[in-house]
Amino acid sequence: MAPRLAPLVVVSGPSGVGKSTVVEAVLALAPEVWLSVSVTTRLPRVGEVNGKEYFFVDDVQFTQLVEHDELLEWAQFAGHRYGTPRGPVLEHRAGGIPVILAIEVAGARQVRSRVPEAQLVFLAPPSWPELEARLIGRGTESAEAVAQRLAAAEHELAAAPEFDRVIVNTDVGQCAAALVACLHEQPQT
């Protein structure tokens, strides 16, 4: 019989919905959880550190990771590519450590087909104006990038019914507590 792997929880939802803030709260509540560090071809924002928020790579390096099948999932988002390194996710799960991914919707769909026991959670904004206000207000993107992300958000919101759970981000603490509960559930294999 194959050894039991620790839970894998995928948090998805539109850019600006607050995935990073909620995941930070999850890690504060449950420090035993491991957050996967993605690779991306986008440039670091001010204050972002290679290996912490992301592994920042160029197009050639990203293509190599795809060709060598080193990514569990990957997607193009707002002009850049983002992906989850496969090895560390499996190693942590095999070592009994619950894993959380914070990724966009196309990637979450790939995880669904490759890891059927993963729990997929959609983080929804309280309202569309609230999402717009958060994306514009955080001031990390140019007006053009904000427009791209809002266009993507329309499609992403329509995907909510595909997920195992939808959580509306009205209260960071409540969202985090709901995710911690998922991370402590045994996967149904």
Binding site for ligand 5GP (CB under 6 A): 15, 19, 38, 42, 73-75, 77, 82-84, 102-104, 106-107
Query: Residue 69 region, left (φ>0) first, then alpha (ψ -120 to 50), else beta?
Result: left
For residue 77, the cross-strand partners are 80
In the complex, minimum distance from the CB of residue 2 to ligand 5GP, in angstroms, rounded to a whole number: 25
d(CA 72, CA 89): 8
Angle at the Cα of 129 from the Cα atoms of 128 and 133, rounded to 5 degrees = 120
Output Rg (C-alpha) for the chain, integer angstroms: 16
In the complex, minimum distance from the CB of residue 154 to ligand 5GP, in angstroms, rounded to a whole number: 14
In the complex, minimum distance from the CB of residue 1 to ligand 5GP, in angstroms, rounded to a whole number: 31
Nearer to ligand 5GP, 104 or 179 (CB): 104
In the complex, minimum distance from the CB of residue 186 to ligand 5GP, in angstroms, rounded to a whole number: 25
Nearer to ligand 5GP, 78 or 182 (CB): 78
Place of tokens 């992301």: 54
Nearer to ligand 5GP, 4 or 133 (CB): 133
